[in-house]
Amino acid sequence: MDGAVAVTGVGVVAPCGIGPDAFWEGLLRPPADGDRVIPDWDPSPWFSNPKEARRADRFTQFALAATDMALEQAGDLAADPARMGVMIGTGIGGIRTNEEQIIIRHEKGDRRVSPFLIPMMMPNAAAASASMRHGFQGPCEAIVTACAAGTHSIGAALNTIRMGRCDVMLAGGSETPTCPTALAGFSNMTALSSTGESRPFDNRRNGFVIAEGAAVLVLERLEHARARGAEILALVMGTASTADAHHITAPAPGGSGAVRCMELAVSDAGLSAGDIAQINAHGTSTPLNDAAEAEAISKVFGAPGPPVTSTKGVTGHALGAAGALEAAAVVMSIKRKLIPPTIGFGERDPELPEIDIVADEPRPWTPGPSISNSFGFGGHNGSIIIGPAA
- Give yes or no: 166 in active site: no
From 16, 147, 166, 261, active-site residue: 147
Instruction: Report yes or no: 211 and 318 within 8 Å, Cβ to Cβ.
Output: yes
What's the CA gap between 310 and 357, in Å, rounded? 9
For residue 30, which of 325, 361, 283, 323 has the smallest C-alpha distance? 361
From 16, 140, 224, 282, active-site residue: 282
Torsion angle of the four alpha carbons 241, 380, 283, 291, in this order, in degrees rounded to the nearest 10: -110
Burial class (CB in 10 A: 0-12, 13-18, 19+), 270: middle
The length of the chain, given as a count of residues = 390
- Give yes or no: 317 in active site: yes
H and E: helices and strands count for the chain: 13, 14
What's the CA gap between 237 and 338, in Å, rounded? 20
- Give yes or no: 134 in active site: no
What's the CA gap between 100 and 117, in Å, rounded? 9
From 140, 224, 261, 317, active-site residue: 317
Cα 338 to Cα 45, 112, 224, 279, 317: the distances in Å are 31, 52, 29, 13, 22
Residue 89 host element (H or E):
strand 84-89
Cα 251 to Cα 92, 194, 207, 237: the distances in Å are 20, 21, 14, 26
SS3 call for 128 = helix
Catalytic residue numbers?
147, 282, 317
